[in-house]
Amino acid sequence: MKQAVQLRNVRKTYGDVEVIKQVSLSIDEGEFIAFVGPSGSGKSTLLRMVAGLESVTDGEILIDGKDVTFAEPSDRGIAMVFQSYALYPHMNVYDNIAFNLKLSRHSKSEIEKRVNEAARILRLEELLQRSPGQLSGGQRQRVAIGRAIVRNPRVFLFDEPLSNLDAALRVQMRLEIGRLHAELGATMIYVTHDQVEAMTLADRIVVLNNCEIQQIGKPMELYQRPRNKFVASFIGSPNMNFFPAQVSRSDATSSTLKLADATLDAALANRAMGESITLGVRPEAVVVLADRSDAAGGVVIEGKVVGVERLGNVNYAYFDVGQSEPVTAQIAGTTDLGVGDTALLGIDPARCHYFDGAGEALRVGN
């Protein structure tokens, strides 16, 4: 497939501070890519370099195979939707959407046709004569998207477009952006804090941390096979539980790991004796057992309930197992647990993730 955007060894420094270290990335045409990562990880910086709003210290950026590293933002064939919408307050909705077309000297009828088309797609027909101040947050965001659509850009860039909206509106706009991507089939790069947005919208997710790409992959791939401890903890909510462990035996097919007060056999081959390994278990893989005998070969840990959150469809309990962080388990609505109770937690080794001392994920099996 054709590549819409390519980053080759892109670096960015502000003076001595490196904010993007050597990022390489190819985005296919029509693909929806989400950048996620904690605050300050460089998501916006990366996006703004693609937009041309931020200079590139090193490396190249290609759009549609053309080197645009030094091109003006308006010459890159991109459109951008900002978190703050960035509507021009002194123009009405129509003029906001038409501004780019007017600057590039399209004919009046052409402008009108394209603005009306965008307004139809975004259901803005009624609002064209309003000024931005008279719109609700969701409507403003739609105008901002409309402004992007009329340009027929090769790449849409979104920087946290929904984070100023309330929860209900955010869900609605998320669906609309999904619909828009399906309808236009355009390449989109979408920066977000919100994993739900990333998981539901994106074809592939780029996880950034510490100025570097941690992993690129399909949403479920990231969830099921995180490449390192950071991705494992960042993707998924509530967070993955981690347990420190040590290798006490290892051969060509399996190893035995010693936890605080349990042992477990993992399908890890040829580990060094005494090596520290971190065990990661998602909350849905932690089971509250009625009895020790239910463990079925898994590990059993005793914990004391420190909190229970019942959300209706899912319920979580938090257990103190003698580590600094409490252990989270997803429990059934019928499970009767209260703060102060003790319970037995079962962990199935087959649903565990293993990370070495550097936080890299270890391959399970052979």
Ligand X SMILES: Nc1ncnc2c1ncn2[C@@H]1O[C@H](COP(=O)(O)OP(=O)(O)OP(=O)(O)O)[C@@H](O)[C@H]1O
Using the rule CB under 6 A, give the single segment among 12-20, 176-184, 220-228, 343-351 that binds ligand X.
12-20
Indicate the residue among 41 and 215 with the shorter CB distance to ligand X.
Answer: 41
The reply to whether 44 sits near Mg ion by the rule CB under 5 A is: yes
The reply to whether 316 sits near other proteins by the rule CB under 8 A is: no
Beta strand 315-320 with 299-310: parallel, antiparallel or unpaired?
antiparallel
Least distance between other proteins and beta carbon 80 (Å): 5
The reply to whether 17 sits near ligand X by the rule CB under 6 A is: yes
Contact 274, 259 (CB under 8 A): no
Contacts of 108 (CB under 8 A, 6+ apart): none
Contacts of 366 (CB under 8 A, 6+ apart): 253, 267, 269
Q: How many residues bind ligand X (CB under 6 A)?
A: 12
Concatenated DSSP letters of 279-327: EEE-GGGEEEESSGGGGTTSEEEEEEEEEEEE-SS-EEEEEE-SSSSPE
Interface of this chain with other proteins, residues 33 to 72, rule: CB under 8 A: 51-53, 55, 69-70, 72
Indicate the residue among 86 and 121 with the shorter CB distance to Mg ion.
Answer: 86
Using the rule CB under 5 A, give the single segment among 37-45, 101-109, 252-260, 281-289 that binds Mg ion.
37-45
Indicate the residue among 86 and 121 with the shorter CB distance to ligand X.
Answer: 86
The binding track of 181-220 with respect to ligand X, each residue x by CB under 6 A or -, is ------------x---------------------------
Region of residue 60 (phi > 0: left; psi between -120 and 50: alpha; otherwise: beta): beta
Q: How many residues bind other proteins (CB under 8 A)?
A: 27
**Helices and strands in the chain, H and E counts:** 8, 20
The partner in contact with residue 297, picked from other proteins, ligand X, Mg ion, none with C-beta cut-offs of 5 to 8 angstroms by kind, is none
Contact 37, 92 (CB under 8 A): no
Closest CA to 283 of 233, 225, 228, 230: 233
The reply to whether 76 sits near ligand X by the rule CB under 6 A is: no
Residue whose C-beta lies closest to ligand X: 44
The partner in contact with residue 129, picked from Mg ion, ligand X, other proteins, none with C-beta cut-offs of 5 to 8 angstroms by kind, is none
How far is Cα 190 from Cα 213, in angstroms, rounded to an integer? 15
The reply to whether 87 sits near other proteins by the rule CB under 8 A is: yes
The reply to whether 39 sits near ligand X by the rule CB under 6 A is: yes
Contact 225, 354 (CB under 8 A): no
Indicate the residue among 80 and 343 with the shorter CB distance to other proteins.
Answer: 80
Among 5, 27, 32, 37, binds ligand X (CB under 6 A): 37
Q: State which amino acid sits at residue 46.
A: L
Least distance between other proteins and beta carbon 196 (Å): 24
Using the rule CB under 6 A, give the single segment among 36-44, 74-82, 218-226, 292-300 that binds ligand X.
36-44
Among 28, 29, 64, 99, binds other proteins (CB under 8 A): 99
Indicate the residue among 132 and 226 with the shorter CB distance to other proteins.
Answer: 132
Closest CA to 153 of 98, 74, 86: 74
Contact 256, 342 (CB under 8 A): no
The beta strand positions in the chain, using DSSP E, are 3-14, 17-28, 32-36, 58-63, 66-67, 78-81, 155-159, 187-191, 204-209, 212-217, 241-250, 255-258, 263-266, 276-281, 286-289, 299-310, 315-320, 327-331, 342-347, 353-355
Let me know the angle formed at the C-alpha of 189 by 184 and 192, rounded to the nearest 5 degrees: 120
Which stretches of the chain bind other proteins, using CB under 8 A?
A: 51-53, 55, 69-70, 72-74, 78-80, 82-90, 99-100, 103-104, 147, 151
Binding site for ligand X (CB under 6 A): 14, 17, 19, 37, 39-45, 193
Residues that bind Mg ion (CB under 5 A): 44
